[in-house]
Amino acid sequence: MKIAFLLYRGFTALDIVGPFDVLSRLPGADAVFVAKQVGPYGNDNDRLSIVARSSLQEVARPDVVVVPGGTAGTREAAEDGEILAWLRQAHETTTWTTSVCTGSLVLAGAGLLTGLEATTHWAAQGELQRRGAIYRSERWVQQGKIVTAAGVSAGIDMALFLAGQIAGDTAAQSIQLGLEYDPSPPYHSGSPAKASEDVLAAVGSVFR
Amino acid sequence: MKIAFLLYRGFTALDIVGPFDVLSRLPGADAVFVAKQVGPYGNDNDRLSIVARSSLQEVARPDVVVVPGGTAGTREAAEDGEILAWLRQAHETTTWTTSVCTGSLVLAGAGLLTGLEATTHWAAQGELQRRGAIYRSERWVQQGKIVTAAGVSAGIDMALFLAGQIAGDTAAQSIQLGLEYDPSPPYHSGSPAKASEDVLAAVGSVFR
């Protein structure tokens, strides 16, 4: 089972590493980071680089695709002909085509979400709708073999769901236990509905 | 505020990327991945590589240190003279010295946890105790300026706690909202106390 994790300049690291650390532990998983060219790709604040070990051409028929979000780089990826052509072709034979956060804008750019329900980072819902999808405020949304997750950390929840679909509940739960994913955040501001006015006002200055 | 994220061969990706995506967004943060040598380092299943952009020598006096865990590579790091000497020296002037998962074994190897309360991945508690720390089953444990987190995903919770300590509650909550960290896992098997016997038995086969 070839699982392709798409990289492009400006991806958000946790968007892709959360699902990676879940899905790459499935029995029989062959996880690979892919990009237009082999080599290191910097994240959204360019403080971290993950290496693409294979080119898109080399992984033309993955079983699972995971597309991360990000900031400006994601909007470029969503209009990059080579990435979009690869996604469309890969999607013809995948068992699962997935995105995390604004990665759904890239799927939409490839025309894969037109008229479908999908989710994205809460702040990008209008953008997703303008690209032809029907926004849903859920942790993840499944439409056939397409699964889109909400912002950043939602990729972990989505990946555990996928792990269960692919390998069964016990395997997914074992991965959850291995990752000690028993969340206990010290604050409860993870969604616009739960955050205070102060926090909603401040978030724009933290996420530049 | 220089934040050093330590890499070594065999680290667990989410251990380090969770805290990175929280702490690198703090105002004034200068996040850098460091290792014995500049270049790419493979993770515990060697499917992902993150690039160390600076050597340990180049970042001798970080303000914050984050040490990830892993499997065999972590035990090697916990006995690596160069890494341990760097940690001991860095710790003299840090404001926070932290670990995620079995990264606490590396801190213990440097002698930083002797006689202190600390945590680690649930399956490594005996190992941590044998290295001189007093194991606590908590999501994270603070002892002065040392903070240790439990397994893998606990690094996100710890990093939000740290973000609050460093920059205040509003900044930490803004980062939580930006990361849409409003966890909703599809299963509830994230700790040994919550997992079924089947899952406890299976976890060893998934985490090789």
The residues that bridge with A42 in the sheet, in sequence order, are A49
Tokens of A174: 């074992």
Q: Residue A45 has what pLDDT?
A: 96
**Separation CA B190–CA A68 (nearest Å):** 24
Decide if pLDDT at A205 tops 80: no
Q: Which residue has the tokens 């013809």?
A: A92
Whether residues B47 and A20 touch (CB distance < 8 A) is answered with yes
Q: Residue A82 has what pLDDT?
A: 98
Decide if pLDDT at B204 tops 90: no
A157 touches B at CB < 8 Å: yes
Instruction: Please return the burial class of A30, using the count of CB atoms within 10 Å of its CB with bins 0-12, 13-18 and 19+.
Output: middle
Q: Which residue has the tokens 């956060």?
A: A101
CB contacts, 8 Å: A20 with chain B: 13-14, 47-48
Residues 6+ apart with CB under 8 A from B164: A186, A187, B171, B172
List C-alpha distances in Å: A190 to A89, A99, A160, B203: 35, 19, 19, 29
Given a contact cutoff of 8 angstroms between Cβ atoms, the answer to whether B24 and B30 are in contact is: no
- Residues of chain A with pLDDT > 90, as a percent, come to 96
Instruction: Write down the H helix ranges in B94-196.
Output: 103-109, 125-130, 154-167, 169-178
Decide if pLDDT at B77 tops 90: yes
The pTM is what?
0.97
**Separation CA B122–CA B207 (nearest Å):** 13
Whether residues B172 and A187 touch (CB distance < 8 A) is answered with yes
Q: Residue A206 has what pLDDT?
A: 65
Decide if pLDDT at B208 tops 60: no
Whether residues B175 and A12 touch (CB distance < 8 A) is answered with no
Tell me if residue A52 falls in helix, strand or coil.
strand
A137 touches B at CB < 8 Å: no
**Separation CA A207–CA B178 (nearest Å):** 7
pLDDT, tens digit, for every residue of A112-147? 999 999 999 999 999 999 999 999 999 999 999 999
A19 carries an active-site annotation: no
**Separation CA B122–CA B124 (nearest Å):** 6
B163-192 residues touching A, CB cutoff 8 A: 164, 169-192
Given a contact cutoff of 8 angstroms between Cβ atoms, the answer to whether A11 and A20 are in contact is: no
**Separation CA A41–CA B123 (nearest Å):** 34
A194 touches B at CB < 8 Å: yes
List C-alpha distances in Å: B105 to B15, B20, B75: 14, 20, 7
CB contacts, 8 Å: B14 with chain A: 17-18, 20-21, 179
Beta-carbon count within 10 A of A142 CB: 17
Given a contact cutoff of 8 angstroms between Cβ atoms, the answer to whether B143 and B118 are in contact is: yes
3-state helix, strand, coil split of chain A in percent (to 5) is: 40, 20, 40
Q: Residue B206 has what pLDDT?
A: 65
* Residue A59: half-sphere exposure toward Cβ, Cα within 13 Å: 30
A41 touches B at CB < 8 Å: no
Mean pLDDT confidence for B158-179: 97
Catalytic residue selected from B6, B66, B87, B101: B101
Tell me if residue A4 falls in helix, strand or coil.
strand
